[in-house]
Amino acid sequence: MKPKVFLTRQLPPEPMKRLAEQADLTVNPHDRYLTKAEIIDGIRGVDGLLCLLTDTIDGEIMDANPDLKVIANFAVGYNNIDVAAATQRKIPVTNTPGVLTDSTADMAWALLMAAARRVAEGDRFVRTRQWGGWGPLQFMGTEVTGATLGLIGMGRIAQAVAKRAAGFNMPVIYWNRTRLSAADEQRLDVQYRSFDEVLRSSDYVSIHVALCDETRHLIGRRELSLMKPTSTIINTARGPVIDEKALVVALQDGTIQSAGLDVYENEPQLEPELYDMDNVVIAPHLGSATVATRTKMGNMAVENCLAVCNGNRPPNLVNPDIYA
């Protein structure tokens, strides 16, 4: 008998087809995310839940189905799931690491370049028919080549961002909870600094930490005030890592120059001021949004989900304690 799986949103075609073939599948019929009540309804009687980063999965949802075998997240980040509650209930939680590293690093660079060179602002200017011709003072941005790049966090994605900096002759400094080995620092050509020093010395600061209690509002008023007035902050990680209200103030009063944001504290809502600020490039959480990457993430989530449903240990387990 095929395992019963509840999927909270349509996946790209390839993983969708695999899941439909190998599982007795129920899918969210809407093109929107589900309410908590709808998720609770959906997971009753199924073996596996395949969910998204927009679904908050807490203990109450898990208790709606005491026979739930797995929670497979279609994302590398899993802050949307109460992993401790899942572990307590012996439910494996899985994610999709690795496959979105490069696309997310590319997106961080896209935002960095767009903010530095005022690409989105220029686009709006041309589209609104305001452009009267080339001008020597128009949209002067900040130099990227040779500038110092500071990375907060040094996981896979930060390392991929660091590699790309070599092409721009940018010195890369980083802070991470645990320092890399000397060999890795040399291989990546990155230098370790204290957290405050990275903020103080960088022209571009890019955030690459997972969201957890320790990293919520890691960047607030104090941290922004350490940054150079000419600097840019990039966030492709998770919105709540930055205190968004403090960021708005820092961008308004010139504490920092600009921001490139892909993630927000209360998605899909932004601090209202952000919508109208020209020194912010805003993207709708697109880090992993390429056809190839989303397909790989889907395949990985399906594989994780079906592995557990079929009695096997999943390849990308977040809470290995449950098998201890």
Q: Which of 14, 38, 267, 273 is catalytic?
A: 267
Q: Which is nearer to ligand GLV, 28 or 73 (CB)?
A: 73
Q: Is 112 a binder of ligand GLV (CB under 6 A)?
A: no
- Of 25, 157, 247, 256, the one binding ligand GLV (CB under 6 A) is 157
Residue 193 falls in the annotated catalytic set: no
> Quick one: tokens of 313?
């240990």
CA nearest to 219, candidates 202, 192, 196 = 196
Q: Is 34 a binder of ligand GLV (CB under 6 A)?
A: no
- Of 118, 208, 294, 296, the one binding ligand GLV (CB under 6 A) is 208
Residues 302-305: contacts with CB under 8 Å, at least 24 apart = 302/11, 302/15, 302/18, 302/19, 302/22, 302/50, 302/72, 304/70, 304/72, 304/94, 304/95, 304/96, 305/5, 305/19, 305/23, 305/48, 305/49, 305/50, 305/70, 305/72, 305/94
Residue 164 falls in the annotated catalytic set: no
Q: Which of 118, 244, 271, 285 is catalytic?
A: 285
N-terminal to C-terminal alpha carbon distance within the chain = 28
Q: Is 100 a binder of ligand GLV (CB under 6 A)?
A: yes
Q: Is 298 a binder of ligand GLV (CB under 6 A)?
A: no
Q: Which of 118, 121, 208, 238 is catalytic?
A: 238
Q: Is 156 a binder of ligand GLV (CB under 6 A)?
A: yes
Q: Is 76 a binder of ligand GLV (CB under 6 A)?
A: yes
- Of 8, 28, 65, 101, the one binding ligand GLV (CB under 6 A) is 101
Using alpha carbons only, what angle is made at residue 267 by residues 43 and 28, rounded to the nearest 5 degrees? 25
Binding site for ligand GLV (CB under 6 A): 53, 75-77, 97, 100-101, 155-158, 208, 287-288
